[in-house]
Amino acid sequence: MAMKTDIEIARAANKLPIQEIGAKLNIPSEHLLPFGHDKAKVSSDFIKAQADKPNGHLVLVTAINPTPAGEGKTTTTVGLGDALNLIGKKAAVCIREASLGPCFGMKGGAAGGGNAQIVPMEEMNLHFTGDFHAITSAHNLLSAMIDNHIYWGNKLEIDTRRVTWRRVMDMNDRALRQITASLGGVANGFPREAGFDITVASEVMAILCLATDLKDLERRLGAIIVAYRRDRSPIYARDLKADGAMTVLLAQAMQPNLVQTLENNPAFVHGGPFANIAHGCNSVIATQTALKLADYVVTEAGFGADLGAEKFLDIKCRKAGLAPEAVVIVATVRAMKMNGGVAKSDLGPENVEAVKKGCPNLGRHIQNIKKFGVPAVVAINHFVSDTDAEIAAVQDYVKTMGAEAIVCRHWADGGAGAEALAKKVVEIVESGAAQYAPLYPDEMPLFTKIETIAKEIYHADEVLADKKIRNQLQEWEKAGYGHLPICMAKTQYSFTTDPNRRGAPTGHSVPVREVRLAAGAGFVVVICGEIMTMPGLPSVPAAETIRFNDAGEIEGLS
Amino acid sequence: MAMKTDIEIARAANKLPIQEIGAKLNIPSEHLLPFGHDKAKVSSDFIKAQADKPNGHLVLVTAINPTPAGEGKTTTTVGLGDALNLIGKKAAVCIREASLGPCFGMKGGAAGGGNAQIVPMEEMNLHFTGDFHAITSAHNLLSAMIDNHIYWGNKLEIDTRRVTWRRVMDMNDRALRQITASLGGVANGFPREAGFDITVASEVMAILCLATDLKDLERRLGAIIVAYRRDRSPIYARDLKADGAMTVLLAQAMQPNLVQTLENNPAFVHGGPFANIAHGCNSVIATQTALKLADYVVTEAGFGADLGAEKFLDIKCRKAGLAPEAVVIVATVRAMKMNGGVAKSDLGPENVEAVKKGCPNLGRHIQNIKKFGVPAVVAINHFVSDTDAEIAAVQDYVKTMGAEAIVCRHWADGGAGAEALAKKVVEIVESGAAQYAPLYPDEMPLFTKIETIAKEIYHADEVLADKKIRNQLQEWEKAGYGHLPICMAKTQYSFTTDPNRRGAPTGHSVPVREVRLAAGAGFVVVICGEIMTMPGLPSVPAAETIRFNDAGEIEGLS
């Protein structure tokens, strides 16, 4: 029997009408705003009415540093959600929405894989419910209002050299990274340098994902710094009176999307901020809504635990008052081998020594998670090529770290393959062992916060930052932004800022290249290394092979 | 009693669930893809299954040359649709979708007005069902693939100075009209001049509105000319292999949107191409679907009859094989007065002489419509300030032109106010008098087609075009594009190319500034005068006042 591809499995899914999925969470159908028969938004009125209900239990799925071998974080999130339902818990999963643009570059963007997927996969990779388009519109309305303000006399005295607010497009388009705009004469404005980022990198995206309701959304949008005057004083979006219209544009997008897993369990798929210059988690409002409606909520964070889990715990949970009760760290035997120095092409044969050599990367993530007061369990996402000896090596190692590693076969078997993990997660949650606390207090100076993350999480010796950057941080502290958390932007492939240093390196420095204030989202972005906010397409883009075949099915999407 | 605003009336609408509206047209609810509870797309499978059914009767609503006094073309379209239903006909209306960008510039974009509106008005002015966002994405994917192709070696030998395909955004943003892109060094490509149009000006929009199914859509998208080589040979979208992915992006948008009038009658709102550089009509697929499902279909065309009706009849009907059986020309007493030389500020007092003086504008439109073989009736869209003598003056004049002018009060009274018009339309249709034929045959040379429109419709003496333009037209004829219809782009305010020449001028010339080939949409655009394809925002954009009020209602949108 030929192995089915992810998209074949997704297409063959026996989907229930979305109203039936909503009913599992006691959402009446009049409060589900349908998008087709298999997607819906949960109405904000209904969400408001749940405010006084107790929260379910929050479980975070994170991973070791990613390798080309793939870890399967989303797949494990979905599998664990299905498994919790199988063992009788009312569980929902919360993941991010896919970005449209990149899916025309490289193949991909599936929501999970194998028998642990969220459907409808094709729509989720295309326009879905239009949230990202709304974010693009709101972002670019603000951009247009800036240049329009300058055009009509510039009463606010915007320094056109210091406009920090760019434009966005949900597309991989390197030609737009750096442009000169307003060319062509008097009627088109004052020429200036400008540029585009991809929509997921927009501060509006981060804001939508952190806002708790429309009022909070509007306040945050108004607090966005769009430019500076010659005297360096900031100009806010509210100075341009853009916040009201941006909120109106985003109101529908603020309502979380409900879809389903292959096993017909509820999944919230909402928001998708970049995991480097933003915090890389699904929306607060989706997570909070899920917690009101389900007993267990399984969610994930972008990249490896050094970036994703740290930001989830230090930004999202801190700001939204969420308290996770268990953390699942996903690892694979293959990725352990790669961390142990094996090339991707040599992953086939058994290599217990390499597995052992790679395990310290996993070990450090286990240690790190403990620093937030939340118990961790390791999920070994099983591949058919894994040998018993290799799996045992990981399990033995994890035991020495005071944790447990559980083999999960959700990719092959769906929820049934993750039952052992689900039982362990329930055991941890019910033990009441979790005592979540962020890594650093709000009142710590900004630079000390950066040092804390670098030393405690990256295990670096020092943070390198020139005087200009330190002064900038101090200026922000004086301006009242000192209480903000830090959003680190560095490579996802290593604990260090060098993507090639695998394993669990020590003795390294963290050089800070640039700091940015996301005053609306509410964090300080600390950029260590090259960060690309507008990707390009590859030499043969996936778009060239995406099309409808004669059967009317979409080809090439995944 | 205070007069209710359009938005207050729209909000108070007693909407039926969209499934009940679909049921009126015998659309089973599984073939309605809902967007919320009051909007839906009609599935392409269902549309395909209707192919062999007979067509209902098609009625076009057009107007005199627009004046600042307003004519109420959409309002009359909606009122007539409701009235036809009132007198026992199964009728549907077909109008265009509103563009998002402009609604942040000036107030407006309502679908009808008073008691003749289509709802939900707010969603229709915001993202609606996402069609325009899909068009933006598809257009910009092609743009990105062009620069990406150049970046990776430019095998097709695109002359970077001759890239005709721009980018689009659904926003009024003059700063993007003219830019230089790909700045910033090797990694960002080869710097070149570029620019953005507003989404409704995209050829993709025109294509979506003319395509009959997904196959036809893909073929047309592939036929778009995106650039030229140094030897002037064209490069097509299909050469870049962009057509398949663009089709996938547009598949959902191709399905027509069903909403309802205030009187709960079905309305298809689908597509919205510019009425100057494109043909300005709602989609062929929506009109054809409505014709299969309703006995009467009332639709409208952009601007006045000299542009809108001419393009509807010479482009849309010719290409889609549609045969309208009656044309309604909307006029108002106020607009007649303005055509008669009265300033907007002096429209209040009775002025029968001015009405009489303005009537020849209306008269010429009546004459013109007859040239297409379709009987015309005039709808006087009634305003409370109209006097009996003024109305009688219009009616008497119209009688001398061999037609009838019927007073319509749908703005105040809904469908009941347009019953007389509806009865007249039915009488015309049932008489079988219509013998639609386009103004010129396919095989006529392109320049002669332009002359035919200028002389027959604009009543001009001549067309002025320099040798370069005439040569260009001949080159296109040699390349096999000679059979295409002409899409005239000129001012909507006059039969001439001078917006200030009201009434029914003669003796003028039509100077052609530029010609463009829309090879995918399938027409040759002839530009006479300044045509703006990317609007700007005014000094105080409407966006500044758009916001949610404390009652959670959107303020400032209309």
pLDDT tens for B365-398 read: 999 999 999 999 999 999 999 999 999 999 999 9
State whether A244 and B137 contact (CB < 8 Å).
no
- To the question of whether residue A67 is assigned a binding role by annotation, the answer is yes
Interchain pair A180, B177: CB under 8 A: no
A 10 A CB-CB count for B185 gives 10
CATH number at residue B137: 3.30.1510.10
> Which tens digit of pLDDT belongs to each residue from A322-342?
999 999 999 999 999 999 989
Say yes or no to pLDDT of A108 above 70. Answer: no
Is A110 part of a structural domain of the chain?
A: yes
Cβ–Cβ < 8 Å for A115, A256: no
What is the rounded distance in angstroms from the CA atom of residue B415 to the CA atom of residue B72? 14
Question: Of A401, A431, A461, which one is at a domain's C-terminal end?
Answer: A431
Answer yes or no: do A99 and A140 share one domain. Answer: no
- A8 is a domain residue: no
Looking at the DSSP bridge assignments, the partners of residue B236 are: B225
- B22 appears as a binding residue in the annotation: no
The answer to whether the Cβ–Cβ distance between A173 and B147 falls below 8 Å is yes
Amino acid B107: pLDDT: 65
Nearest alpha-carbon partner for A333 in A254, A411, A391, A262: A391
Judging by DSSP bridges, how do beta strands A112-113 and B91-95 pair with one another? unpaired
User: Residue A315 and residue B443: Cα distance in Å, rounded?
Assistant: 67
- Per the CB < 8 A criterion, the answer to whether A220 and A211 are in contact is yes
Mean pLDDT of the residues in chain B: 95
Boundaries of domain holding B367:
55-128+262-431
The verdict on residue A193 lying in a domain is yes
Q: Does A73 participate in catalysis according to the annotation? A: yes
* Contacting residues of B for A104, CB less than 8 Å apart: 141, 144, 245
Q: How far apart are CA A202 and CA A212, in angstroms?
A: 18
**Contact call for B174 and A189, based on CB within 8 A:** yes
- DSSP symbols for A193-221: EE-EEEGGG-HHHHHHHH-SSHHHHHHHH
Which pLDDT score is estimated for B1?
Answer: 45
B170 contacts on A by Cβ (under 8 Å): 137
Q: What is the largest CA-CA distance in chain B?
A: 73
Q: List pLDDT tens digits, range B52-95.
A: 999 999 999 999 998 876 789 999 999 999 999 999 999 999 99
B281 forms bridges with which residues in the sheet?
B301
User: Catalytic: which of A411, A447, A495, A523?
Assistant: A411
Residue A168 CB contacts under 8 Å (≥ 6 apart), including other chains: A135, A136, A139, A140, A196, A197, A198, A199, A201, A202, A204
Shared domain for B286 and B415, answered yes or no, is: yes
- Looking at the partner chain, which of B133, B153, B241 has a beta carbon nearest the beta carbon of A133? B133
B371 counts as catalytic: no
Contact A177 B184 (CB under 8 A): yes
The pLDDT tens digits for B314-331 are: 999 999 999 999 999 999
**Residue B558 falls within a domain, yes or no?**
no
Shared-domain flag, residues B101 and B116: yes
- Please state the three-class secondary structure of B349-380 as a single string: CCCHHHHHHHHHHHHHHHHHHHCCCCCEEEEE
- In contact, A276 and A489? CB cutoff 8 Å: yes
Task: For residues B358 and B374, state if they share a domain.
Answer: yes
Out of A250, A275, A297, pick the residue that ends a domain. A250
* Catalytic annotation present for A311: no
Task: Give me the catalytic one of A39, A73, A89, A166.
Answer: A73
Cross-chain residue pair A244–B180, CB shorter than 8 Å: no
* Residue A197 and residue A100 share a domain: no
Among A10, A98, A275, A465, the active-site one is A275
Tens digit of each residue's pLDDT (9 = 90 or more) over A496-518:
999 989 899 999 999 999 999 99
Nearest residue to A297 via CA among A278, A310, A316 = A316
Residue B110 annotated as binding? no
Express each pLDDT in B92-122 by its tens digit. 999 999 998 888 988 666 689 999 999 999 9
Q: What is the pLDDT of residue A133?
A: 98
DSSP, collapsed to helix, strand or coil, labels residue B266 as: strand
- A536 to chain B, minimum CA–CA distance in Å? 8
Distance (Å) from the alpha carbon of B20 to chain A's nearest alpha carbon? 15
- A4 labeled binding residue: no
Is A180 known to be catalytic? no
> How do residues B177-214 score in pLDDT, each as one tens digit?
999 999 999 999 999 999 999 999 999 999 999 999 99
When scoring B165, B176, B255 by the number of chain A Cβ atoms within 10 A, the one with the most, hence best to mutate, is B176
Out of A243-247, B157-161, B272-276, B407-411, which region has the weakest mean confidence (pLDDT)?
Answer: B272-276
Question: How many domains does chain B divide into?
Answer: 3
User: How many angstroms separate the CA of residue A318 from the nearest CA in chain B?
Assistant: 28
A220 noted as active-site residue = no
Q: Cα A176–A177–A178 angle (5° rounding)?
A: 90
Of A513, A129, A33, residue with least CA distance to B18 = A33
Compute the average pLDDT of residues A257-277. 96
Closest residue on chain A to B237 (Cα): A544
Select which of B73, B167, B334, B364 is catalytic: B73
Percentage of residues of chain B with pLDDT beyond 70? 99
Residue A16 domain flag: no
Do residues A413 and A281 both lie within one domain?
Answer: yes
- Model pLDDT, residue A37: 97
Establish whether A274 is a catalytic residue.
Answer: no
B194 contact residues in A (CB cutoff 8 A): 175, 179
Catalytic site includes residue B311: no
Tens of pLDDT along A339-395? 998 998 898 899 999 999 999 999 999 999 999 999 999 999 999 999 999 999 999
CA distances for A461 relative to A361, A454, A507, B121, angstroms: 17, 8, 5, 60
Contact across the interface for A171 and B140, Cβ inside 8 Å: yes
Q: What is the mean pLDDT of residues A270-289?
A: 96
Are the C-beta atoms of residues A77 and A296 closer than 8 Å to each other?
Answer: no
CA of A343 to nearest chain B CA: how many angstroms apart?
Answer: 28
A240 and A147 within one domain:
yes
Report the pLDDT averaged over residues B463-473: 97
B303 and B224 together in one domain = no
Helices (H), A371-418: 388-400, 410-413
ipTM of the complex in this document:
0.96
Token pair 């326009």 in the structure block, residue: A127
Is B190 labeled as catalytic in the residue annotation? Answer: no
Q: What share of chain B is helix, strand, coil (3-state, %, to 5)?
A: 40, 20, 40
Distance in Å, alpha carbon of B161 to nearest chain A alpha carbon: 15
* Nearest-Cα residue of chain A relative to residue B546: A245
Q: How far apart are the first and last CA of chain A?
A: 21
Residue of B15, B97, B548, B557 to mutate for A, most A C-beta atoms under 10 A: B548
What's the CA gap between A396 and A160, in Å, rounded? 60
Distance CA A502, CA A489 (A): 18
Band (B556; pLDDT cuts 50, 70, 90): confident
For residue A474, the domain's CATH number is 3.10.410.10
Q: B180, A180 in Cβ contact below 8 A?
A: yes
- Indicate whether B37 belongs to any domain: no
- pLDDT at A249 > cutoff 90: yes
CB contact under 8 A, B144 and A537: yes
Q: For residue B331, what are the β-bridge partners?
A: B380
Q: From the list B178, B240, B536, which residue is nearest A148 (CB)?
A: B536
Which of A386, A401, A431 marks a domain boundary?
A: A431
- Hey, are the CB atoms on A244 and B545 less than 8 Å from each other? yes
Give the CATH number for residue A308: 3.40.50.300
Q: Mark whether B109 and B174 lie in a shared domain.
A: no
Q: Where does the pLDDT of residue A1 fall: very low under 50, low under 70, confident under 90, or very high at 90 and above? A: very low
What are the chain B neighbours of A177 within 8 Å (beta carbons)? Answer: 183-184, 188
Q: Is the pLDDT of residue B226 over 60?
A: yes
Do the Cβ atoms of B248 and A557 come within 8 Å? yes
Is residue B31 scored above 70 in pLDDT? yes
- Judge if B408 and B352 occupy the same domain: yes
Does residue B545 have a known ligand-binding role?
Answer: no
**Residue tagged 């606390």 (tokens):** A437
Of all residues in chain A, the percent with pLDDT exceeding 90 is 90
What per-residue confidence (pLDDT) applies to A107?
65
CB atoms B189 and A176 under 8 Å: no
SS3 B258: strand
* pLDDT tens column, A443-452: 999 999 999 9
Contact assignment for A547 to B174 by CB distance below 8 Å = no
Q: Is B67 annotated as a binding residue?
A: yes
Residues A215 and A343 in one domain: no
- Taking CB atoms and an 8 Å cutoff, what residues of chain A touch B181? 175-176, 179
Per DSSP (E only), the strands in B418-494 are 462-464, 486-489
A174–B543: do the CB atoms touch at under 8 Å?
no
Q: Is the pLDDT of residue B408 over 60?
A: yes
β-pairing, A296-300 vs A57-63, is parallel
Residue B73 lies in a domain: yes
Q: Is the pLDDT of residue A425 over 50?
A: yes
Interface test with B, best of A29, A107, A248 (most B CBs within 10 A): A248
Whether A218 maps to a domain, the answer reads yes
Task: Provide the percentage of residues in chain B whose pLDDT is more than 90.
Answer: 89
What is the number of CB-based contacts under 8 A between chain A and chain B? 226
Q: Which residues of B touch A549 (CB under 8 A)?
A: none
User: Binding site annotation covers A535?
Assistant: no
Give the model confidence (pLDDT) of A22-69 as tens digits. 999 999 999 999 999 999 999 999 999 999 999 999 999 999 998 876
Looking at the structure, do residues B397 and B312 belong to the same domain, yes or no?
Answer: yes
Q: How far is residue B529 from each of residues B339, B358, B464, measured CA to CA in Å?
A: 21, 25, 12
Enumerate the residues of chain A whose CB falls inside 8 A of the CB of residue B30: 37
Element (H, E) at B203: helix B203-210
